[in-house]
Amino acid sequence: MNGNSLIAGRWVAGEGSFQSAPATGVAKTYSAGTPTLVAEACAAAEDAFWTYGYSKREDRAAFLERIADEIEKRGSEVTEIGCSETGLPAARLEGERGRTTGQLRLFSDHIRDGAYLDYRHDAALPDRQPLPRPDLKMVQRPIGPVAVFGASNFPLAFSTAGGDTAAALAAGCPVVVKGHPAHPGTGEIVAEAIDDARKALDLHPGVFSFVQDGGVAVGGALVQNPFIKAVGFTGSLRGGRALFDLCAARDEPIPFFGELGSVNPMFLLPGALKSRSTEIAQGWAASLTMGAGQFCTNPGIAVVPEGPDSEAFISQAAAAMQETVPQTMLTDGIAQAFCEGRDRIASTPDVTTVVSGTTQNRDAGAFLYRVSADAFEANPVLAHEVFGPLGVVVVAKDITAFASIARALEGQLTATLHMDPDDSAHAAQLLPILERKAGRVLFNGFPTGVEVADSMVHGGPYPASTNFGATSVGTLSIRRFLRPVCYQNLPEEFSISA
């Protein structure tokens, strides 16, 4: 551990320092990133693009696979420091490490296949009347250096070598990562793995850089650097929106692919409640409290119709949540924000407290509230994300009110329908609304646990994400870092299929 930033193959100290704030163990000192280091990393990334951006797919696939191998070599070290920094259990971090290496290998297979290039060819029609048609070929090309911001709640899968980095490198884009202050040591180890993979394959050192946290100045310098052509971000609405605005205000505006938060509503239809209230209640409580509720897909709202089946559901969910023990949250700041969100919900008019857990320092218990549909729609604050183990049950007068509640919601990462066959008519009425509100619509499941697969969409209308046509999980996420180029009458000696 050197505690520095990796700038184009060199570990470099910044001008200041900061202390980590681990959940367990001793705090360590890290050299803070600076705008100067950002500028050096971005210039190196631009220089690297002239070779890496035109490299063969097979070479980039080998790079991704070598990164996965290097991360696995460091498995025990990653788990040890990750547990210390975040308070996450070893099993969770080991699973996340597997997901991270799996993403890298998924993209290596994806680019070898070549379908992502979306190659199209309209052959010349020289004899067409009244005018001939030229030969036209179209292919997707990498956009240039990409900035990636590490996420607080996923120190591996959404951070240094996470999905954004994997997709950008697969596309042919050099990457500059801004590490998250919640897990600087974990970020450093993974950055070392990426750099060792780069060295083994003799790639340009500017293809990857890792800048330790240095406050808002470093983030601002990164998104405003003229060499950066897109940004990948997972984090808070406030922080993401500030960076989004900086990207839009540049002389050359660039896309900001931010995943900013969601309450992931569930709609429980009458047939499902009658036949499976206990099963759904227990599943919801488990999903809601898993990992101290620190998932962007945490199902924070359950909408139910008035009646005895819903009362049974609420009682069963409350019983399951009361059995959970307080869990350590990722940072002091997240714990404080959770308490503020909890207090905001509890003090809203017409909200009833069902379960009130205990909180102490970074340890958070489970909380459950209920509110009528009328009060929920009258108080938009109740539909704002509270990042942690907290749920709100919205009780509607009848099933016809579900559509009004759904229409009032902002954009979401997910929306869920719990239904039995007898609920099909009601579900058919809700589905078109939910399709417009969410990037992933689930049936009879829980949204925590995002499968890494070709078909996955992890994104949604604002404020779930800043670009409703993009996803940060799944192979479609590579399209964020590509743009179409058409070649007219391209000479035969030139190839566009690398």
Tell me which residues are annotated as active site. 259, 296
Handedness of CA 351, 312, 417, 424 (dihedral sign): negative
**In this structure, are residues 413 and 460 in contact, taking their beta carbons and an 8 Å threshold?**
yes
Handedness of CA 308, 309, 312, 313 (dihedral sign): negative
**In this structure, are residues 387 and 440 in contact, taking their beta carbons and an 8 Å threshold?**
no
Half-sphere exposure of 13 (CA within 13 A, CB side): 8
Contacts of 72-76 with CB under 8 Å at 24 or more apart are 72/97, 72/101, 73/193, 74/189, 74/190, 74/192, 74/193
**In this structure, are residues 35 and 218 in contact, taking their beta carbons and an 8 Å threshold?**
yes
- DSSP β-ladder status, 327-328 and 352-356: unpaired
> Torsions phi, psi of 466, nearest 5?
-90, -5
Sheet holding 438-443, edge to edge: 352-356, 367-372, 390-396, 301-305, 266-268, 412-418, 438-443
DSSP helix/strand/coil, 167: helix
Residue with tokens 């379908």: 115
C-alpha span between 44 and 50 (Å, rounded): 11
Residue with tokens 């896309």: 255
Q: What is the CA radius of gyration of the chain?
A: 24
Strands (E), 179-313: 208-211, 230-234, 256-259, 266-268, 301-305
Q: Report which secondary-structure segment, H or E, holds 110.
A: helix 90-113
